[in-house]
C-alpha cells in the first residue's frame, strides 16, 4: 500500500527505471556538481580566513554566495520554475532584518552580511539543487567534504592543536575541554557548530545511501564527528535522527506513521508545558551533558526573555541592550532564536520559523493527491525535513553564525526545491509519474534497495 514521506508531499515510487528517467528529464536541471563543490568547500573553510574589499569583510563561504547569487536568481526565474511559500518568508525575513536594524543602531552592514549569507545561501540552493540530478550531485560532494571536516577534528584530538590555523600561521583561539577531553571544532568557529553539521549531514546520509555498508560508513563517520565535538545537543540530535529512521523503517507502508510521530511530539511538549513552571528552560536544561552549562542556559533564557519583552518588535540591533553590571545581559546568548529576537525582534523569529516549516509542510494539493514519485526524491524529502528539524532543535542551545548560518539557509533552499518538484509532479499525467500497481508496497528508506539496484 502507498506510503507518504515525512513531509506528506509524495510517495516513493519503485516503478521501472525508464519512468524515473522520464520524471527526472522533465523536472531536473543539470547536476550542477561544480556549484556543489564551490558551496560546500566554501562552507568547509574556516571563517577566520577573511578578505576585506572596500571595508567589507568576506569569508570564503560568503564570497561563494556573493559570486553565485545573481546567476542563481537568473537560473531560478528563467527555467519555468515555481515560487513557493518559503521564498516569500525568506524575503520577508530579509526585509525585516534590514528595516529593524535601521530603527535600532548603525549595524546595517552586519545585517546586510547576515542577509547575504542566509538568504543568498537559500536562493543559491533553490536554483542549483533542483531535481534528482542536482540532489545527487549535492550528496555526492557532501560525502568527501564531511569526511575531510571529521578528519580535521581527528587531527585536533591527536595533536591538541588547531591544525588548520597552525598550517596558515594563525594563532589558535583556544580550546574547551569536557570530562578531560578536547572539544573539537574542526573548521567551524565552535565545537557545537561542528557537531551540528555532523548531525545534519548524518540525517542526509541515513536516507541517501543505497547500501547498508554505505549507510554504516557515512552515518558512523558523522556519529564519530559528533562524539569528537563533545557537545550535548548534536549528540542528542543524532540520536533523534537514528530513532526517526528506525521508526520509519519499522512502520514503512503505514500512511499514518508521521501523523502519529508529530502527535506524540506535541503530547510530550504539552506535558512539559503543563508540568514545568518554566517549560522552555526545562527543555534547554535537559539538553546538556554538563549540568553547569544547562543552568547557565536557563539563566540566559530568563534574562533574554526579560529584555525581549521590553522591545519585542525591532529588538536592539547589534548594540548593548543591558546595563554593564547585568552579567547575563552581557553574556553569550546561546540560542539562535533568542539572538534573532534580541537583534531584530520577534517577527523575524516568526518569519524564520515559517520559512523552515513551509518548506516541508504539505500543501492541500500535495497532501490530497496520491501521486507517485521517484524513491530517491522521497528519501531526500524525508532527509532534509529531518535535517531542518535538527537545525531548529539544536538552535535552542546555540547561535548560528558564519558557515553554520549559511548552511541553514542552504538546507531550507534544498527542501523548498524538493517541495516545488513535488508540487510540479502533481500536475503531470500519471504516465509521466509512473504507473504503479495499487497492491505494491511503495515505501521509502531501506525498502527501496531493489529500486536502486535496478538503476
The string of pLDDT tens digits covering residues 190-239 is 999 999 999 999 999 999 998 999 999 999 999 999 999 999 889 999 99
CA distance 403 to 407: 6
Closest CA to 198 of 228, 225, 227, 219: 225
Which pLDDT score is estimated for 122?
Answer: 97
Closest CA to 400 of 392, 359, 360, 205: 392
Question: CA dihedral in degrees (440, 373, 241, 298; nearest 10)?
Answer: -130
Residue 232: DSSP 8-state? H
pLDDT at 167 over 50: yes
279 Cβ contact partners less than 8 Å away, ≥ 6 residues apart = 269, 272, 273
| Alpha carbons within 13 A on the beta-carbon side of 284 | 26
With contact defined as beta carbons under 8 Å apart, do 351 and 92 qualify? yes
Q: Cell digits for 148? A: 575531510
Q: Which helix (H) or strand (E) holds 21?
A: helix 17-27
DSSP-derived 3-state class of residue 58: strand
Question: CA dihedral in degrees (389, 281, 272, 339; nearest 10)?
Answer: -30
Pairing of strands 177-178, 181-182: antiparallel
With pLDDT > 70 as the criterion, what percentage of the chain qualifies? Answer: 81
Which pLDDT score is estimated for 12?
Answer: 35
How many angstroms from the chain centroid is the CA of residue 211? 24
CA distance readout (Å), 72 to 66, 130, 131: 10, 12, 15
Which pLDDT score is estimated for 365?
Answer: 57
pLDDT at 21 over 60: no
Query: What residue ranges do the domains of the chain occupy?
Result: 11-454
CA distance readout (Å), 142 to 40, 186, 308, 420, 444: 7, 16, 38, 22, 21
Rounded to the nearest integer, the mean pLDDT of the chain is: 82
Residue 86: DSSP 8-state? H
User: ∠108-114-117 over CA atoms, to 5°?
Assistant: 140
With contact defined as beta carbons under 8 Å apart, do 277 and 311 qualify? no
Which pLDDT score is estimated for 373?
Answer: 57
pLDDT in tens, 252-309: 878 888 889 989 988 988 888 888 777 777 777 776 666 677 778 888 888 899 999 9
With contact defined as beta carbons under 8 Å apart, do 433 and 11 qualify? no
Q: Which helix (H) or strand (E) holds 201?
A: helix 191-208
Q: In the predicted model, what is the mean pLDDT of residues 312-320?
A: 89
pLDDT at 376 over 50: yes
166 Cβ contact partners less than 8 Å away, ≥ 6 residues apart = 172
Give 244's pLDDT tier (boundaries 50, 70, 90).
very high
DSSP-H helix ranges across 395-447:
403-426, 430-433
347 Cβ contact partners less than 8 Å away, ≥ 6 residues apart = 96, 100, 313
Q: In the predicted model, what is the mean pLDDT of residues 387-391?
A: 96
Q: Which range, 57-66, 267-276, 408-417, 432-441, is most confident?
A: 408-417
Amino acid at each position: 500500500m502507498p506510503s507518504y514521506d515525512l513531509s506528506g508531499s509524495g510517495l516513493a515510487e519503485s516503478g521501472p527505471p525508464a519512468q524515473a528517467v522520464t520524471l527526472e528529464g522533465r523536472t531536473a536541471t543539470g547536476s550542477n556538481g561544480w556549484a556543489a563543490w564551490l558551496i560546500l568547500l566554501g562552507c568547509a573553510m574556516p571563517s577566520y580566513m577573511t578578505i576585506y574589499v572596500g571595508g567589507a569583510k568576506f569569508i570564503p563561504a560568503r564570497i561563494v554566495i556573493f559570486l553565485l547569487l545573481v546567476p542563481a536568481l537568473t537560473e531560478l526565474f528563467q527555467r519555468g520554475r515555481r515560487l513557493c511559500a518559503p521564498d516569500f518568508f525568506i524575503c520577508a525575513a530579509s526585509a525585516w532584518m534590514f528595516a529593524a536594524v535601521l530603527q535600532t543602531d548603525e549595524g546595517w552592514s552586519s545585517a546586510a552580511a547576515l542577509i547575504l549569507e542566509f538568504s543568498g545561501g537559500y536562493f543559491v540552493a533553490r536554483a542549483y539543487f533542483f531535481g534528482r540530478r542536482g540532489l545527487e550531485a549535492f550528496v555526492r560532494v557532501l560525502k568527501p567534504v564531511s569526511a575531510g571536516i571529521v578528519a580535521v577534528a581527528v587531527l585536533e584530538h591527536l595533536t591538541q592543536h588547531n591544525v588548520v590555523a597552525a598550517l596558515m600561521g594563525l594563532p589558535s583561539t583556544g580550546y574547551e575541554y569536557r570530562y578531560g577531553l578536547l572539544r573539537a571544532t574542526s573548521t567551524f568557529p565552535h565545537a557545537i557548530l561542528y557537531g551540528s553539521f555532523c548531525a545534519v549531514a548524518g540525517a542526509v546520509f541515513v536516507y541517501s545511501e543505497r547500501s547498508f555498508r554505505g549507510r554504516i560508513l557515512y552515518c558512523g563517520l558523522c556519529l564519530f564527528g559528533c562524539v569528537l565535538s563533545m557537545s550535548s545537543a548534536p549528540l542528542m540530535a543524532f540520536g533523534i535522527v537514528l530513532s526517526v529512521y528506525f521508526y520509519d523503517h519499522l512502520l514503512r507502508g503505514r500512511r499514518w506513521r508521521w501523523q502519529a510521530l508529530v502527535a506524540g511530539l506535541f503530547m510530550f511538549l504539552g506535558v512539559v508545558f503543563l508540568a514545568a513552571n518554566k517549560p522552555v528552560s526545562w527543555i534547554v536544561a535537559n539538553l546538556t551533558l554538563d549540568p553547569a552549562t544547562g543552568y547557565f542556559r536557563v539563566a540566559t533564557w530568563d534574562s533574554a526573555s526579560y529584555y525581549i519583552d521590553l522591545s519585542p518588535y525591532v529588538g536592539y540591533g547589534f548594540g548593548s541592550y543591558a546595563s554593564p553590571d547585568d552579567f547575563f545581559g552581557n553574556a553569550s546568548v546561546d540560542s539562535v532564536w533568542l539572538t534573532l529576537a534580541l537583534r531584530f525582534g520577534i517577527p523575524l523569529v516568526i518569519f524564520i520559523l515559517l520559512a523552515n516549516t513551509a518548506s516541508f509542510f504539505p500543501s492541500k494539493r500535495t497532501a490530497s493527491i496520491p501521486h507517485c514519485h521517484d524513491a530517491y526524491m522521497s528519501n531526500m524529502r524525508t532527509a532534509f525535513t529531518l535535517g531542518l528539524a535538527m537545525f531548529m532543535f539544536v538552535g535552542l542551545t546555540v547561535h548560528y553564525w558564519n558557515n553554520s548560518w549559511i548552511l541553514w539557509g542552504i538546507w531550507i533552499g534544498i527542501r523548498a526545491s524538493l517541495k516545488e518538484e513535488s508540487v510540479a509532479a502533481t500536475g503531470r499525467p500519471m504516465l509521466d509519474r509512473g504507473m504503479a500497481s495499487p497492491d505494491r508496497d511503495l515505501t521509502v528508506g531501506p525498502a527501496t534497495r531493489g529500486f536502486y539496484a535496478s538503476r
